[in-house]
Amino acid sequence: MAAVTATSNTTTTTARAVGAGSPTADLAPLQIERRALGASDVRIDIKFCGICHSDIHFARGEWGEIPYPAVPGHEIAGVVAAVGSDVTGFAVGDRVGVGCMVNSCRECENCQAGNEQYCIAGNTQTYGSVDRDGTFTYGGYSDHVVVDQDFVLRIPDEIPLEEAAPLLCAGITTYSPLRHWNAGPGKQVAVVGLGGLGHMAVKFAHALGAEVTVLSQSLRKQEDGLRLGADHYYATSDDATFTALAHRFDLIINTVSAVIDMGAMLSLVKTDGALVNVGAPSEPLPVPVFPLLMQRRTFAGSGIGSIRETQEMLEFCAEHGIAADIEVISADQVNEAWERVLASDVRYRFVIDNSTLTA
């Protein structure tokens, strides 16, 4: 990292990164500028960064036009390299993480209530946002990042940094709805899709004490699912699944971003139960209303979690020996990894070893 030792708060720093120059370009090494260390900023030497499906949607412009180069990555784990003069909670050498957001308006009712993930003005995303100082945000596929202390998480010593990285998105995105909808002892919880998010949802739901069922397209990953903590594993390609599990679940966490048969899935939800999407399909989902009406079911969505809840999740992981199942890659393998993500060929999260960045 070129300028990790800089202490002036007026000097930007140059970061090695890997990013996309256009919606269709392969990722390639490049350099980006990080803002000068502000009084409340923490400069983080990034050790590992998880690869999320969102990174691909974003960089390829599938969620809207973006400026290039695009440097994604919002599952950041590293070590504090420098702190601004007003930073009190972090010191050089601390093990820290950054998730999907790096700022918010701090004034709306949600920010005031500590739910900055639902900032009404829109939170500042770790990549692809304009931050409050006017700078454009670049993600964690890079060697360092500068983030306001209020959006930095502490990674407990029990969790290896590379296994902690995916907790910052895949982890909190599944932990938060499981907590909000009260997954726990006596509750029947299903997880649709056993990918990066799904495998974390299974671990959390199990650790929270719920009876856990995986609903996957096939039984291909059944052994994994049971090992991760599922009590049952069913294939959604088999119509008998929907007969066997009718009216079974208090809560279904749907991690799949594709369009699914919502009527069939809702039929598995109990009266007053919820089907909660954490996957974000780009097309609207066709939702038949009768299955909602007839059992007062709800269809909801949930996005990441607050900083407070993310810290709680990390402590929960430390306490329960939970982390992500990962495959560590070098920076020059990112394009290949993206192809494998698109093919659902990863168990269960790629994590970039950021020491291999070469730009």
User: Candidates 155-163, 219-227, 292-300, 316-324 — which segment interacts with its own copies by CB under 8 A?
Assistant: 292-300
Total residues interacting with its own copies, rule: CB under 8 A: 35
With CB under 8 A as the contact rule, the residue among 104, 165, 279, 346 that binds its own copies is: 279
2 binds its own copies (CB under 8 A): no
302 binds its own copies (CB under 8 A): yes
> Given the DSSP bridges, would you call strands 124-125 and 101-103 parallel, antiparallel or unpaired?
antiparallel
Contacts of residue 139, Cβ cutoff 8 Å, sequence gap at least 6: 49, 55, 71, 72, 73, 74, 76, 126, 127, 128, 145
Residue 3's nearest CA partner among 38, 43, 42 is 43
One-letter amino acid for residue 216 of the chain? S
In whole angstroms, the minimum distance from the beta carbon of 257 to its own copies comes to 9
CA distance readout (Å), 51 to 147, 244, 340, 349: 19, 35, 11, 7
- By CB under 8 A, the residues from 111 to 140 that bind its own copies are 115, 118, 120
- By CB under 8 A, the residues from 13 to 72 that bind its own copies are none
255 binds its own copies (CB under 8 A): no
CA distance readout (Å), 216 to 36, 223, 226, 238, 260: 46, 12, 12, 10, 12
294 binds its own copies (CB under 8 A): yes
Phi, psi of 36 (to 5 degrees): -60, 150
Q: Which is nearer to its own copies, 15 or 215 (CB)?
A: 215
Contacts of residue 190, Cβ cutoff 8 Å, sequence gap at least 6: 212, 213, 214, 215, 245, 248, 249, 251, 252, 253, 268
290 binds its own copies (CB under 8 A): yes
Contact of 9 with 39, CB cutoff 8 Å: yes
User: Candidates 41-49, 128-136, 196-204, 282-290 — which segment interacts with its own copies by CB under 8 A?
Assistant: 282-290
In whole angstroms, the minimum distance from the beta carbon of 115 to its own copies comes to 7
User: Candidates 44-52, 155-163, 287-295, 345-353 — which segment interacts with its own copies by CB under 8 A?
Assistant: 287-295
286 binds its own copies (CB under 8 A): yes
186 binds its own copies (CB under 8 A): no
For residues 184 and 162, what is the distance between their CA atoms, to the nearest angstrom?
Answer: 28
Residue 195's nearest CA partner among 212, 220, 176, 162 is 220
Cis bond upstream, residue 284 (ω within 30): no
For residues 214 and 218, what is the distance between their CA atoms, to the nearest angstrom?
Answer: 10
101 binds its own copies (CB under 8 A): no
180 binds its own copies (CB under 8 A): yes
One-letter amino acid for residue 155 of the chain? I
User: Candidates 28-36, 96-104, 189-197, 293-301 — which segment interacts with its own copies by CB under 8 A?
Assistant: 293-301
Site string for its own copies, 206-245 (x = CB under 8 A): ----------------------------------------
Q: Which is nearer to its own copies, 111 or 205 (CB)?
A: 111
Interacting residues with its own copies (CB under 8 A):
110, 115, 118, 120, 180, 247, 262-263, 271, 274, 277-281, 284-303
